[in-house]
Amino acid sequence: MKRWKKAACGFAALGTVASLATPAGAATDVPNTNDDVSRVQISGSDTTYLVMQNLGKAYMESEGCVLNAVATVKPITPSTIPQQNRCAGATVPEGASGASQLSAVKTENYDHDVVINYFPQGSNAGRAQLCAQLPSADPLRLVGLQVIDIARSSSAPGSGFQCTGATLAPVAAVGTRILRFVAFAKDALTWVKWDTLAGGSDGVTDLTVQQIKDIWFNCSITTWNQVGGANSNPIIVWTMIAASGSRSTWDGFVGGNSTTCIPTAFKDGNLANGERVIREHFAQPIEAATNDPGAADEGNSISPFSVGLHNTQPALAQSSLLGNVNAIAPSEVNIVDGTFPFTRLLYNVYINAGPSPIAGDATRRFASMRNWSGPAQNEQLGWICKPLNSHAKPIEGDPGVGIATAGASFNYAGVVDNALRSTGFYPLTTDITLPRCTFTDYRTDAAAQVFVP
């Protein structure tokens, strides 16, 4: 997992600290905020790690309240120390006489909350970590289990591990919870291959859905010439680790366990004898035959891959080539309109209801869907999900979509979409008046079922 090391290191120290409590009686200038810098801690998917890093960075860099300055009175006493990382108090009303450039922008990250993305372990692992959260008063909360607020997930409710009580003991101890799966972007999975002089995949650019099922699950297609390849070399099948949400999604696409057609010796977790169950969306082990010297010619290999990450992260894709499915290319148009057969949604998951701890306001301000009952739409939707026309833009010189706001130095309407597209993912809607997300609620007890919103 070398590819994430540099990005992850900057957040390691922050992750060990609990979220700041709200001081009693704290006043606030914006509904559903608390005038404090809070932490939103996120774990889970490899697929959405980069996009959530981008979204978190943009959110943290957005303008908001003026924070308390460092104490200047000497000697410093409890009465002279301002509460650091807190909003300084009532803000200058936007457009008021004498308003300075520090007038508060109230539509973005008003409290200057901090978003922390932990190193990816997979969607299923992230959801397990989320569901194992203990009540805030439990002494073990910060001892054996890192607090997280959101699980990144590249698979939908019902795909893979959903932390039912029978699966994870701590959930049974706290009772039924409702997970909210907030879909915020579109991606697709497809198969990749490599063109080499001796490889069997040369000439193969398209597979049908049935052929993909026969390669990964039915085991009835085992050589490249069966699908129009250059020769009768065996098809070397690779798939993703079980903790991955992309693995759960791919299993659903192929009709069952995608390790079925991989020989036992290559899926037993023993790297010494070759392993073809690897981290998702990472071509390097296949090209270098790191775990499996017998698969040294990658021209005989086939593996699932995220289309978005393949298109934007060449270090992950290496020399692999995306394949079509049913003669349909995994293009933006085909993914957005759902024509491509293996299109999927990407999610942020949080605990929406049930026993403590449920998602707090800081989590909801960043990533929620329909969390508050306020009359204004931007009070009901988190920053990622609210319509483009609910974001701030400068008062002068910006003809783009958004709310003209004193203190806004640039237009925030395009920030979310830019963060998605930079990692190859696509927004769910281009309508500037509509919420940018959808959601599904999922009960996490032993009788788990999907609820209709």
Indicate whether 288 pLDDT > 80.
Answer: yes
Query: Could you tell me the pLDDT band of residue 10, with boundaries at 50, 70 and 90?
Result: very low
The whole model's pTM is what? 0.85
Confirm or reject CATH 3.30.70.2190 for domain 189-344, answering yes or no. no
What is the model's pLDDT at position 200?
94
For 149, counting Cβ atoms within 10 Å of its Cβ (0-12 exposed, 13-18 middle, 19+ buried), the class is: buried
Q: How confident is the model at residue 179 (pLDDT cuts 50, 70, 90)?
A: confident
DSSP readout, 223-249?
Answer: BGGGGT-SS-PBPEE-EE-TT-HHHHH
Determine the Cα–Cα distance for residues 154 and 344; give it in Å rounded to an integer: 8
Rounded Cα distance, 43 and 125, in Å: 8
Give the model confidence (pLDDT) of 122-152 as tens digits: 888 888 888 877 777 676 666 666 789 999 9
* DSSP annotation string for 54-70: HHHHHHHHS--PPBPPP
Sequence-distant (≥ 6) Cβ neighbours of residue 349 within 8 angstroms: 44, 126, 127, 130, 150, 151, 152, 153, 179, 180, 181, 182
* Model pLDDT, residue 25: 33
CB atoms within 10 A of CB 354: 17
* Between 60 and 139, the higher pLDDT residue: 60
**Mean pLDDT across the chain:** 81
Which has the closest alpha carbon to 109: 310, 397, 361, 451? 361
